[in-house]
Structure 1
Amino acid sequence: MDKASIRKRILPIRKGLSPEVVQELSEKLLNQFKQLDLAEVKTLHIFLPIKSQNEPNTFLIIDWLKKYHPALKIVIPRADFETSLMTHHYFEGMEDLELNAYQILEPAKAKIHSGEIEMVIVPLIAFDKNGYRVGYGKGFYDRFLSGIQTKKIGLSLLDELVEIDNVNEHDVRLDQCLTPDKVYTFPLS
C-alpha cells in the first residue's frame, strides 16, 4: 500500500480514539520508553503532540525525563513550513510554548540547540517491518535525520505493521519503534 493510502486508512483509526484511551496508551508508551538505555544520551529530541491528530502524549516522557534524568537536555522542534526544515530548541517549560498556524505547539523564545543529539523520538502514523515510517508527508523528519548520526525511536499508539510500497531513497529508517505493548527493533527478522 502506498503512503497516502496508509495515511487515509490509519489516521481515522487513531483520530477515533477517545482522549481517555490516548492517555492510557501514552502511559503504556512511557513504560516502554523507561526501558530504553539512556546512559549515553546527553541530548534527546522529542516531538510535541498534535492534539487534533491524537498523537501520543509526549509530555509524559518529558516530565519523566526531567524528574529522573535532570542532566539530560531535552530539545523540541520548531517547523518552517516554507522550507520543510526544523530548528531545534531547548525545552524550557509549558510557559514557553505557543500554537503555530497549524495548531502545533512550538517553543516561542527558547534557545536553539546546535550540538549533537544522541536520540530522536520520531512521530509517525504507521511503520513497517524494516523500520520505515509513514509521516504526514512533508519530509521534516527525514530531512533532519538524514543529516545526523543518532538513535531514531518511533512512537506509535497503534501496534500495526503495514506494508509500504513506495519507500524511497530519502526515507530514513528507524532503529526502534515503541508501541503500547511492544518494542520493535529494526529490521525485524
Structure 2
Amino acid sequence: MLEKTHLRTKFKEERKSLDVEQISRDIVRNIRSQAFYKKAEHVMIFYPLKYEINLLDLLNDDKNFYFPKVHGENLLVCPYESSVKFEKAAFNIYEPCSAPVFPEILDLIFVPALAVDKNNFRLGYGGGFYDRFLKTIDVITAVPIYENFVVEELPHDDYDVRVDCIITNGKKAHV
C-alpha cells in the first residue's frame, strides 16, 4: 500500500479538478435522506477548506449544529448560532468564537477526509485530531466524500478510528 503522505498529496491534487459545489449539493441531499440524520438533534459539521465537501447548507435544517475547534492536540465542540463569528485559526481552518460544550451532547459527527476505504477507515490530513477525539466519545460518525474517493483499502494504524458511515454523491450510503 502506498504511504499515507503520498496518498494525501494524490487526493488533494485530484479533488482540484472536481465540481465540488455540485458534489457537495448531492452529498447534502443524500445526508438529508438518511434516517440517522433525520433522528439526530445535535450534529457536528466542519467548515470546509478549499476543494473540500461543503456541508454548510445543512445549517438551514432544524437541528442544533456544532463546529470543531482545535485546542492544543485536541478538538473542542463549539455550538453554532447565526450570530456566532468565525475566525481563521490553526491550519487556515475557520472556527467558531463560541464557548465549547461537552461533546457528549452530540448525536452525529461529520468527519472530513481526503479518502475513505471500504472498511470505513479514512485518510485525514495527518494531525490525528479526529482520531483522538473520536476515541473519547460514543457517537455516530459519517464521512461525506466524493464517490470516486472511496477506495478498496487505505493504509491505517492502530490509532486510526473507523467511521460508521460513508455518504457520497452517488446513490447510496456505505454503512
Secondary structure, counterpart of 1:30 in structure 2: helix
Alpha-carbon contact 2:120-2:165 (below 8 Å) kept: yes
Which residue of 2 is the match for residue 123 of structure 1? 112
Deviation (angstroms), 1:113: 1.6
Give the partner amino acid of 1:103.
N
Deviation (angstroms), 1:164: 4.2
Which residue of 2 is the match for residue 55 of structure 1? 52
Aligned with 2:129 (options 134, 140, 164): 140
Alignment of 1:43 with 2:42, yes or no, is: yes
Which residue of 2 is the match for residue 86 of structure 1? 75
Secondary structure, counterpart of 2:172 in structure 1: strand
CA shift in 2, pair 1:84/1:3, >3 Å: same
Deviation (angstroms), 1:182: 3.6
Q: Counterparts in 2 of 1:13-32, with a 5 A limit?
A: 13-17=14-18, 21-32=19-30
Which residue of 1 is the match for residue 101 of structure 2? 113
Alpha-carbon contact 1:75-1:113 (below 8 Å) kept: no
Which residue of 2 is the match for residue 8 of structure 1? 9
Alpha-carbon contact 1:122-1:141 (below 8 Å) kept: yes
Deviation (angstroms), 1:147: 0.9
Q: Deviations over 1:6-29 (max 9, x none)?
A: 112111011233xxx211111101
Q: Which runs of 4+ in 1 moved over 4 A?
A: none
Alpha-carbon contact 2:111-2:144 (below 8 Å) kept: yes
Deviation (angstroms), 1:117: 1.2
Percent identical among aligned pairs is 27
Instruction: Give the paired residue count.
Output: 172
Q: Deviations over 1:111-141 (max 9, x none)?
A: 3121421110010000111000000000011
Alpha-carbon contact 2:46-2:55 (below 8 Å) kept: yes
- Compute the RMSD of aligned alpha carbons: 1.8
Q: Counterparts in 2 of 1:140-179, with a 5 A limit?
A: 140-164=129-153, 166-179=155-168
What TM-score does the superposition give when structure 2 sets the normalisation length? 0.89
Deviation (angstroms), 1:39: 4.8
* Distance (Å, rounded) in 2 between the aligned partners of 1:28 and 1:11: 20
Alpha-carbon contact 2:123-2:154 (below 8 Å) kept: no
Give the partner amino acid of 2:81.
E
What TM-score does the superposition give when structure 1 sets the normalisation length? 0.83
Alpha-carbon contact 1:159-1:180 (below 8 Å) kept: no
Alpha-carbon contact 2:74-2:132 (below 8 Å) kept: yes
Deviation (angstroms), 1:5: 2.0
Deviation (angstroms), 1:42: 2.4
Secondary structure, counterpart of 2:75 in structure 1: strand
Give the partner amino acid of 1:46.
I
Query: Mind listing any 5+ residue stretches in structure 1 that lack a counterpart?
Result: none
Secondary structure, counterpart of 2:110 in structure 1: strand
* Distance (Å, rounded) in 1 between the aligned partners of 2:139 and 2:92: 28
* Distance (Å, rounded) in 2 between the aligned partners of 1:33 and 1:61: 9
